[in-house]
Amino acid sequence: MPQVSVILPSWNRAGWLKKSIDSVLEQTFRDFELIVVDDASTDSTQEILTGYAGKIRSITFAKNLGVSAARNAAIKNCDSEWIAFLDSDDYWHPDKLQKQIAQT
């Protein structure tokens, strides 16, 4: 069981998604899982997620349900002590999780 579940909902943000995912995978703190929820994107999101097979977990919605539904679906599929959210048009500095966990 990872200590942190990182939840990243996305809808039609293929232009940003790789940078967001990479910023999580490059964290200095390593005890995490990354769950990306594709909220029925119509862009190249699925192709990007396929490139991360084995490194991330992904959930794909058949129709767009919104960011809250995407976050809730990921929460139901994680089993960690902590949850961290990242929007798909944002990224983290490499020591973000390390600094937060150190303060718990």
Token output for 36: 């990306």
**Residue pLDDT, tens place only, 12-39:** 999 999 999 999 999 999 999 999 999 9
- Rounded percentage of the chain residues whose pLDDT exceeds 90: 98
pLDDT band at 104 (very low <50, low <70, confident <90, very high): confident
DSSP H stretches of helix in the chain: 14-25, 45-50, 67-76, 96-102
DSSP assigned state of 81 = S
Question: What one-letter code names the amino acid at 27?
Answer: Q
Token output for 43: 């862009």
What pLDDT does 11 receive? 98
Predicted structure pTM score: 0.96
Task: Return the CATH architecture of domain 4-102.
Answer: Alpha-Beta Complex (3.90)
pLDDT band at 80 (very low <50, low <70, confident <90, very high): very high
Backbone angles phi, psi at 100, to 5 degrees: -70, -45
